[in-house]
Copies of this chain bind each other. A is one copy, B any other.
Amino acid sequence: MKNLLLAVLVSGICTALYGQKEDSALIKRISDEILTNGKAYENLRHLTKKIGARLAGSPSMVKSEQWGLKLMQESGADKAWMQECLVPHWVRGGEDSAFASAAIKNRPLDIVALGNSTGTGPNGLVGQVLLINSFDELEKKKDEVKDKIVFYNYKFNDTYINTFLAYRDAGQYRGQGPSRAAKYGAKAVIVRSMSHATDNNPHTGATRYDSSYAKIPAVAIGLRDADWLAMQLQNGMIPEIKVSLKTNGHFLPDTIGHNIIGELTGTEFPDEIITVGGHLDSWDNCEGAHDDGAGCVQTIEILRAFKAIGYRPKRTIRFVLFANEENGLRGGNKYAEEAKANNEKHILAIESDAGGFTPRALGFSGSEEQFQKFLSWKPLIAPYGCNELVKGGGGADIGPLNRALKTPTASLNPDTQRYFDIHHARSDVFEAVNKRELELGAVNMAALIYLVDKYGL
């Protein structure tokens, strides 16, 4: 009996060790394939340089969808299709401009209208600028706000090591700032860009109007110009500074967009679905290389690498380029709706939407038992860069799936230091992406997908 127990034990250990060795070897094959023959970088070059900015509703959205579908097919998807959804159609409508009256007459300010914002109209508007450093200060000065242009100069907090915390902190000024100022009668808003870049590029992003108040024009301003403007106002040397603003943003009727979906159909459990994706749309003022061209080409690279090494998944893997993350999330919502309507069984969804930078962690949200299983794979994944497996994972596009079906969600967490230098700014270009960093992101996600495919969750 003792011997039998020992034999079972030894056999169990051997199987486990053998399994781990086999897993380690297969993950290395995936990694070698991606790092040696990877196509993600050249695919990103095409997406950013040949197609470029691709906001929902724009002609280049359509081009990028066609590109994505073709690439899914060429990369070896068993099937590939477009999943239709209505998307909002906000357009910038022309060039944004701003000039300050102080110091130098008509000093230009580097600004960009916030996404979804209302334009000033072709004649522009002129207003005295009121410097507001925080919402607390806004409340204190609410009686001074009427007919002014409120300039929120809330700083991106440099002391956070994870820059996404600084973004969450400062982001409320972009999201809520316009309506909170409109509540007290402001005629427009200028928001300090959510960034700690050393340049002056303004950073856009969606604002959210509160329907209780007037929808007033709102722009983001570059950091150097924000500092200049604040200094003028703080010094009090100049009694008042007026800014003339011209923006032309407006909504056209909703139009048709698509999620682009490729699939490797599972050989043993085709009904169990693992989703990996990024979002195909980008803001209109940049190439959207990191946000989120990177996530798209990484997604397709995983498909390509699985096919290239001849890996046939047991479960079904869906490779998804989501529509309209930036200013509507209609693609993510549609994907979840259809999954629910079709009674699909989704066992994991993972998203890459934090830039194509060097991978550092994988985040995971699911049950404690699932998290422990996820954690047990750390020795297999850590050698490829994600040496932290942490609680809390997901992404905007896969959030609806999680809410609809309680699907566990994961995220690729790259290093965050460079992301907000370029996020939603004209500097989010192909040249800011490093080939190997981009590829390693795909490697780490592919490793996790392989393990979930093999062992379930």
Chain A residues in contact with chain B, CB under 8 A? 31-32, 35-36, 41, 158-159, 161, 163, 196, 198, 358, 360, 383-385, 387-388, 415, 417-418, 421, 434-437, 440
Contacts and interface: CB of A to CB of B under 8 A. Distances in A.
B159 A198 contact: no
Given A41-B198, A161-B384, A198-B435, 12 more contacts: A31-B159, A35-B158, A36-B159, A158-B436, A161-B385, A196-B435, A196-B436, A358-B415, A387-B387, A387-B388, A417-B440, A418-B437
Nearest to A198: B435
B434 A421 contact: yes
Contact of A161 (B41, B383, B421, B435): B383
**So how many copies of this chain end up in the complex?**
2
Q: Which 9 A-B pairs have the closest CB atoms?
A: A417-B436, A35-B158, A32-B159, A358-B415, A417-B437, A358-B417, A36-B158, A418-B434, A35-B159
Nearest to A382: B388
9 contacts: A32-B159, A161-B383, A161-B385, A196-B435, A196-B436, A198-B435, A358-B358, A417-B437, A418-B436
Contacts of A388: 387
Contact of A440 (B161, B387, B434, B436): B161
Contacts of A32: 159
Among A32, A358, A384, A421, max chain B CB count under 10 A is at A358
Nearest to A436: B417
A355 to B, nearest CB: 12
A384 B415 CA distance: 12
A337 B415 CA distance: 40
Nearest to A42: B198
Contacts of A383: 161
Nearest to A159: B32
A280 to B, nearest CB: 24
Contacts of A35: 158-159
A159 to B, nearest CB: 5
A388 B385 CA distance: 11
A113 to B, nearest CB: 27
Contacts of A418: 434, 436-437
